[in-house]
Amino acid sequence: MRMYDIIEKKKHGGELCRDEIYEMIKLYTEDKIPDYQMSSLLMAIYFKGMTPEETSNLTDAMATSGDTVDLSMFGDRSVDKHSTGGVGDKTTLIVTPIVSAAGGIVAKMSGRGLGHTGGTVDKLESFPGFKTSLSPSEFKNQVSEIGIAVIGQSANLAPADKKLYALRDVTATVDSIPLIASSIMSKKLAAGTHSIVLDVKCGSGAFMQTPEKARELALAMVKIGKLRGRKTAALITNMDIPLGHAIGNALEVKEAIEVLRGKGPDDLREVCLALSSVMIELSCKLTQGEAEKLARETLESGKAYTQFIRWIEKQGGDVSYVENPEKFGKSKFIKEVYAEKDGYILSCNAERIGIAAVSLGAGRATKDDTIDFKAGIIMDKKPGDKISRGDVIAILHTDRENALAEAENIILSAIKISDVKTDSGKMIYDTVR
């Protein structure tokens, strides 16, 4: 195999065969193909695309480039969920206990915050003592015992994707549907569950800014899942606005606990129930209607809340924080942001609000930054809400006094207020099966 020939073939829109793709990924992982040649191929893929067969082979080649998790002992009941990343997205904290309390097996690897988006691993680490790293046998034993475990991604999971992603990041080739789809699905295939439910976020806070693009990505990932023998479905959900009210790790955990206790914001509950239903449908082999009913009953009966407590305790987290969320503590500075005029909320740019939360300490500006778990924002208003000048539209939480003014400006510029009545918009755009 000559890398030159592969680049030349793709440059003319040709289809790479299975052996070419596997060999190339193997050699690249072993540092035997230079980055300049791989960059050239990535750019050719960006412009010429890939067929479903090529994308599926690329995904599997990356998935098998490192460790893979064997969950065959759970038969076809194991299920994973993946979100393409958002602001205020604490759905994993709510969905995984609902699904496991309903009888599904949730064995999941999650990520940390990236850029303006948050990550489940950071949120879980808000609980003192919570272990996000378990050995493979500890992970499987916990899943066998209580039906749920969520850990950070193992270092050697899909190393080819890690290398390629870093290269894409600096060669302007991130936003290619086959490359995004294969990157995400390679990690999901390696993580080993029989079923996969994808939450493809769409809007100002997401990779995919329009429902059409989000649908294209969802279809590409569902197709890969099917070609690789996994039951796969995708929901396309609204990320034009932050999900729920809370943005920032401990603030989001507290909001997730509220939902599990039967309260919390409607938009968050709606998205969580929709994701849980599809996961239950696939893992428990129920009809759509049966799964929706079971998801709702499991949440409303408190079974999911009980399961959440079991899960946090089992992974070493201090469960007294679940019963007394005020134990998460308060930031030194808590500042209200006021509406500058009367009207109706038209939009809240999720990306800008995510950036403001990072500046308050809720995320990392550089890889080595530490997170302030208490920091973040409570966004009380949503599109469609009527407001008057001087109403509180957001509350900032931080220990960084000098970050307050800039965060306030970002929030004020991120929220658009209309003189005429607006509507709240949809939370779920589509489901792709």
Selection from 261, 224, 279 nearest residue 83 by Cα: 279
168 is known as an active-site residue: yes
- Per CB under 6 A, 180 contacts ligand URA: yes
Q: Which of 60, 161, 199, 372 does the annotation list as catalytic? A: 161
Binding piece for ligand URA, criterion CB under 6 A, among 58-66, 134-142, 178-186, 235-243: 178-186
- Choose which of 38, 61, 134, 184 interacts with ligand URA (CB under 6 A): 184
List, in sequence order, every residue forming a beta bridge with 231; answer none if it has no partner: 195
DSSP state of 48: H
- Per CB under 6 A, 25 contacts ligand URA: no
Judged by CB, which is closer to ligand URA: 201, or 397? 201
Selection from 110, 10, 88, 90 nearest residue 50 by Cα: 10
List, in sequence order, every residue forming a beta bridge with 84; answer none if it has no partner: none
Task: Determine the size of the site formed for ligand URA (CB under 6 A).
Answer: 7
- Choose which of 78, 183, 232, 359 interacts with ligand URA (CB under 6 A): 183
Binding piece for ligand URA, criterion CB under 6 A, among 173-181, 195-203, 263-271, 354-362: 173-181
161 is known as an active-site residue: yes
Give the 3-state secondary structure of residue 83: strand
DSSP assignment string, 265-308: -HHHHHHHHHHHHHHHHHHHT--HHHHHHHHHHHHHTTHHHHHH
List, in sequence order, every residue forming a beta bridge with 386; answer none if it has no partner: 344
CB of 398 to ligand URA, least distance (A): 28
183 is known as an active-site residue: yes
CA distance 257 to 212: 33
Judged by CB, which is closer to ligand URA: 102, or 197? 197
Residue number, nearest CB to ligand URA: 183
Give the H or E element holding residue 199: strand 195-202
Q: Which of 81, 82, 140, 215 does the annotation list as catalytic? A: 82
Residue 168, classified by CB atoms within 10 Å of its CB into exposed (0-12), middle (13-18) or buried (19+), is buried
Binding piece for ligand URA, criterion CB under 6 A, among 63-71, 179-187, 315-323, 392-400: 179-187
Q: Are 107 and 192 in contact (CB under 8 A)?
A: yes
82 is known as an active-site residue: yes
Active site residues: 82, 161, 168, 183, 187
Contacting residues toward ligand URA, per CB under 6 A: 165, 174, 179-180, 183-184, 207
